[in-house]
Structure 1
Amino acid sequence: MNNAVTLVPSDQIIVVYSDGEITAGEISCALFYANSRLLAMHLYVDKSFATAMPGYAENFYTLMQWEMETFVTPFINISFLSRCSATIPKLLHNVIAILVVHKLVDRQPDVNEVLMEIKALPLSVHSAASDQYDIARMPDYFNAWWKENLGSCRVPDMLPKSSVQDVMELVEGHFSELPDHVETDLLPYMLTLGLRAVGNFAEKDDKLFTFK
């Protein structure tokens, strides 16, 4: 069995859908955007006294699931179904692991424990690739729910519907605002995707996804 990994060009189209197409590089950029949102959330929550309020952990857990379903899961699924192996940034990887493990162990996870484990994740200020704090403090993250007083919020009102196209537009806007040093230094590792096998991928109804 040949387990060799062939790098996929960043401009290779991975999926075509009704409103457009997504390349390998855009998948990595989307995951980097999700990681940047989580870093902003982590920095804020880490210093917030509101996390101790009644009801905060429950709302935090609900909104974190929304975060994953909106900005992460679709792109990981696309990578899996197209046999691409996308690089997942460290913080995003750790948050996914916490949510998945708790869900596997208990169908009704302890939301307070989930919040505490996410708050306890290390925040490294030593990065050879970028100033992570600059990225996290970029203005105007879409639905920056972590800045709200979650203990007294109506969470259903904070869960807007977002299509893949909506997310890709947010990602494009995010990258256009990145400081020059961040954009230049991060691109080499962000666009590292491996194609595990060569093959023909199933074509779906063009209203859904077509894998290239």
Structure 2
Amino acid sequence: MMGVRALQKEKTRRSLVEAAFSQLSAERSFASLSLREVAREAGIAPTSFYRHFRDVDELGLTMVDESGLMLRQLMRQARQRIAKGGSVIRTSVSTFMEFIGNNPNAFRLLLRERSGTSAAFRAAVAREIQHFIAELADYLEIENHMPRAFTEAQAEAMVTIVFSAGAEALDVGVEQRRQLEERLVLQLRMISKGAYYWYRREQEKMSHHSE
């Protein structure tokens, strides 16, 4: 069990992370945040910040990790919902759009830092996206009985399209977001069908060669 001091430290650390997230917006990127502002929002003295993070960059990297983990956990829950019956693609898309609606700043952080000026941030976001692709590829491999090379290519294409739609969904109204969802479902179904038929064609080619 954690002691009182350790619990308090963890609570303050969480307050700093949440304070930084709350200050992000469509107009405000992580790079524009100041240590002083984040500390004030979290209710601590700026000098106390260093008891929790080496610098603002370490805080940002923690936020990237948390955003990626939050999204992956939600998508895992979606796959559990699918196991109980329901459309794989539609359930996944609605879960993803819920994540963006509930955590716009977490998704903004991933999007912006993916092509930002910091190499450490770019690497951290790339790592989160790779985790996301790998988990989806694992799922597709088991569900579709296709080899890893196929499911990885399919997962990568799907994640690329999903992130692109997510970027559009951040700043639109409810009706436009619903239209985006429908378009995304259609695009993902096209990729899924294409991957399936491509794999079958490759299998047929191989069986003809071996005859």
Which has the larger Rg?
Answer: 2
**Could you tell me the TM-score, scaled by structure 1's length?**
0.30
More helix by share: 2
More strand by share: 1
**Could you tell me the TM-score, scaled by structure 2's length?**
0.30
**Higher RCO by CA contacts (8 Å cutoff, separation 6 or greater):** 1
